């Protein structure tokens, strides 16, 4: 006999709703997904969603954090080279790249999305720092990791680059592995963190995500970058 919804533990109901919200956001994008559509797909009344999430931004951030939790756990279980772990993360992020421009668009207006973005940034920075540990001298490792993360975030923006983000990072790592990287001066201290954007009222027009694109068709495959020796020669001159 099926259980009454009231008999289902709250966390189990939240998890089931997040599964549906994840499917909707990945299939339709942030802007084209409404709370009402999430509720309809979950088989509940639209107002019931707000028992679990204060706004669409909160549901979006919960989905993103859930996806990131899975990736962190998966990568921690991998017994592999730090660079391979970084590329495994990039491949996973690339699959969900249609959501990332929406993260950048919503972060200044929704603290909960900003918190996710900063968490993702810190995770990628940790992976990048481990990947450059044996390739770049100590004074420049932080700068090298920040450069990699900036390349990743740029690769996830719209319009999409012609080549996958992982290909650009592989090329960058090859350049950073040259003697030229040893001549990079130690970076100056980083500036203060960016202030969080103002909190927005739940359900308002700011939450529509009009600046967020709908999922775009896959870009055509591009030939891999194979000219590492030439690039290294240029970097070493």
Tokens of 49: 């969603």
Closest CA to 141 of 153, 150, 151, 131: 131
- At a CB cut-off of 8 Å and minimum separation 6, what does 54 contact? 202
Domains of the chain (ranges, CATH numbers)? 6-236 (1.10.357.10)
Residue 55 predicted with pLDDT over 60 = yes
Q: Is 78 helix (H, G, I), strand (E, B) or coil?
A: coil
Confidence band of 184 (pLDDT split at 50, 70, 90)? low
Q: What is the pLDDT of residues 202-232, one digit of tens each?
A: 444 456 655 565 555 544 444 444 443 333 3
CB 121 within 8 A of CB 70: no
CB 177 within 8 A of CB 131: no
Average pLDDT of the chain is 80
Tokens of 25: 């956001």
Q: What is the pLDDT of residues 61-105, one digit of tens each?
A: 999 999 999 999 999 998 999 999 999 999 888 888 889 999 999
Q: What is the pLDDT of residues 111-167, one digit of tens each?
A: 999 999 999 999 999 999 999 999 999 889 999 999 999 999 998 888 888 888 899
CB 207 within 8 A of CB 200: yes
Which string of DSSP letters, residue by residue, matches 34-66?
Answer: -HHHHHHHHTS-HHHHTTT-SSHHHHHHHHHHH
Tokens of 174: 């090859």
Q: Whole-model pTM?
A: 0.76
């Amino acid at each position: 006999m099926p259980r009454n919804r009231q008999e289902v533990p709250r966390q189990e109901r939240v998890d089931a709703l997040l599964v549906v919200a994840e499917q909707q956001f990945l299939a339709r994008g942030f802007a084209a997904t409404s709370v009402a559509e999430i509720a309809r797909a979950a088989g509940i009344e639209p107002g019931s969603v707000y028992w679990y999430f204060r706004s669409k931004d909160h549901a979006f951030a919960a989905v993103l954090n859930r996806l990131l939790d899975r990736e962190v756990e998966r990568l921690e279980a991998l017994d592999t080279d730090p660079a391979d772990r970084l590329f495994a993360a990039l491949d996973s992020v690339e699959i969900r790249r249609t959501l990332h421009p929406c993260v950048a668009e919503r972060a200044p207006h929704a603290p909960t999305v900003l918190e996710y973005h900063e968490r993702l940034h810190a995770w990628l920075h940790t992976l990048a720092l481990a990947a450059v540990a044996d390739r770049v001298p100590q004074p420049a490792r932080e700068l090298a990791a920040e450069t990699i993360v900036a390349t990743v975030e740029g690769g996830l923006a719209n319009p999409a680059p012609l080549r996958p983000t992982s290909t650009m990072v592989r090329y960058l790592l090859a350049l950073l592995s040259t003697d030229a990287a040893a001549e990079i001066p130690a970076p100056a201290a980083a500036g203060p963190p960016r202030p969080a954007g103002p909190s927005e009222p739940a359900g308002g027009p700011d939450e529509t995500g009009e600046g967020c694109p709908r999922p775009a068709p896959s870009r055509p495959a591009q030939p891999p970058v194979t000219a590492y020796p030439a690039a290294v020669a240029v970097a070493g001159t």
